[in-house]
Each structure stands twice: as structure tokens, then as C-alpha cells.
């Protein structure tokens, strides 16, 4: 198919929270955004909001923990649009427990969803990105976490997956730089999403006391950093980890 005139972005975990905010922001920036997740209804709501605001987006339902299905999806989207400019590996799950009680299944499931999926997506996205014509080139942006930078008790699996994203990203940045493809990491701190809203107020207050800015971040603040990294302004930025955490980790 002829190349889409718009830059094309794929965002995993695009049905809620940070992912939905990224989908909306990149669409606002003028990209055509493919929102990927398992929940078709939630995805449809996000895409409908994008279209209502004058943006361009589509739904892609997929279990990203299935390497074959996910790799095929990215190949198919690149073929459909004739290009792939931006990949945002945002999807993530938690199965928290102390190491002594953590099961193999809990560890393996989190690694498969949070880390292996990003590897599968990057491998599939690299070839169409290499074929891009234009100054901006390809952009791979992995959403890690401050847990992957400093660790977190009760989250050995999650922290390992998010730390793994950092190592993966730095290696990819070195491999693909000569093809005009950058790869960077955004590491959010405590962000006001469904995952943090369920915390008891006492814990929320304690956490806020550890954050110099004294508040949780907003999903849109993560999306703003992703927007920068996906733009021409970030053409000389690669292999970097940007913590967006109100100063909690520094």
C-alpha cells in the first residue's frame, strides 16, 4: 500500500491511564495512532475521543504477551500503512508479592508482558523504521518505571521487567542509531491512574511526602515527554532514561 502521509505510531496498553494519554497526545501532534490492548471496548472509547477531537487513530486488539500474534500485528500494520515511525511500549501489569512467596507464574507473566513484548515489538518495528524517508527517522520509546531504576520491595518481578527495559533500550539505541532510529526510556514515578487510585489514603499521603513536588503526576505529563521524544526536537537524544517522578529519584 502507498505510504501514509501522516507519521504512524503504535502505542501498547493504549486503552487507559498513561497509554490512553499518550494515544491522545500523539494524535494531537498530528500522527496516526494505532492503540493496542486486549480490551476492545476501552480502546474504542479512546479512539472515539481522538476522532472527536479531530485526530486520527485506530483500534488493534491483541494480547501482546503472545509473541507470534503481536509480531504479526506489527508487521501487518506496517504493511497496511506503508510505514511505521513511532513505537511506544507502554503496556504493563503487576503481580506483586514478596520474593519468598512469589510464584514462577507470577514472575514469568510479568516478564512476558512488560519486557519480552517490548523486545518482540522492537524487532518487528525496526525493519519498517529503517525504510523511512525523511529527517525524523524512527522513534522507539519504552515506558519503564522508577521501580526499574531503584527497585521496590514486593515488586521483584515488576522491577526486573522495568530494569530490563532500560538495558534493552540502551542496546537497541546503540544498534539502530546508524539507521536514524532512536530508542529512549521514560520512567514514571507515582502517577494518578487506576493502579494508584486504589491505594489507601494513608499510603498516598506517605508517598507524597517522599516526592519533592508533593503530589502524584498526571498521565498527560508522561505523554508530554513521550511527545518530545517522538518529535524532531529529540533527534539527538538516544539511549536515555528520563525519570518523570516529581524528583523522587535523583
* Residues with a known catalytic role: 158
How does 180-213 read in b/e, with b if 16+ C-beta sit within 10 Å? ebbbbbbbbbbbebeeeeeeeeeeeeebeeebee
DSSP character string of 168-185: HHHHHHHHHGGGTEEEEE
Strands 86-89 and 241-244, by their bridges, are unpaired
Integer Cα distance of 29 and 26 in angstroms: 5
- Fill in the DSSP letter of residue 4: P
Using alpha carbons, list the distances in angstroms from residue 171 to 64, 119, 146, 164, 241: 22, 11, 19, 11, 13
Amino acid at each position: 500500500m502507498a505510504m501514509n502521509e501522516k507519521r504512524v505510531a503504535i502505542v501498547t496498553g493504549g486503552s487507559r491511564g498513561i497509554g490512553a494519554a499518550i494515544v491522545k497526545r500523539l494524535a494531537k501532534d498530528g500522527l496516526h495512532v494505532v492503540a493496542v490492548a486486549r480490551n476492545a471496548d476501552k480502546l474504542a472509547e479512546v479512539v472515539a475521543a481522538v476522532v472527536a477531537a479531530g485526530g486520527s487513530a485506530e483500534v488493534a486488539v491483541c494480547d501482546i504477551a503472545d509473541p507470534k500474534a503481536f509480531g504479526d500485528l506489527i508487521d501487518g500494520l506496517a504493511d497496511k500503512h506503508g510505514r511505521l515511525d513511532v513505537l511506544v511500549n507502554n503496556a504493563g501489569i503487576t503481580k506483586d508479592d514478596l520474593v519468598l512467596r512469589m510464584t514462577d507464574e507470577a514472575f514469568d507473566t510479568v516478564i512476558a508482558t512488560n519486557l519480552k513484548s517490548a523486545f518482540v515489538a522492537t524487532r518487528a518495528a525496526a525493519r519498517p523504521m529503517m525504510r523511512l524517508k525523511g529527517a525524523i527517522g524512527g522513534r522507539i520509546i519504552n515506558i519503564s518505571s522508577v521501580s526499574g531504576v531503584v527497585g521496590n520491595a514486593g515488586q521483584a518481578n515488576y522491577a526486573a521487567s522495568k530494569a530490563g527495559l532500560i538495558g534493552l533500550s540502551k542496546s537497541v539505541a546503540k544498534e539502530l542509531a546508524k539507521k536514524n532510529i532512536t530508542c529512549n526510556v521514560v520512567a514514571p514515578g507515582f502517577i494518578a491512574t487506576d493502579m494508584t487510585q486504589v491505594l489507601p489514603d494513608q499510603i498516598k499521603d506517605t508517598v507524597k511526602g517522599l516526592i519533592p513536588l508533593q503530589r502524584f503526576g498526571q498521565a498527560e505529563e508522561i505523554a508530554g515527554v513521550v511527545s518530545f521524544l517522538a518529535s524532531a526536537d529529540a533527534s539527538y537524544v538516544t539511549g536515555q532514561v528520563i525519570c518523570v517522578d516529581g524528583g523522587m529519584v535523583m
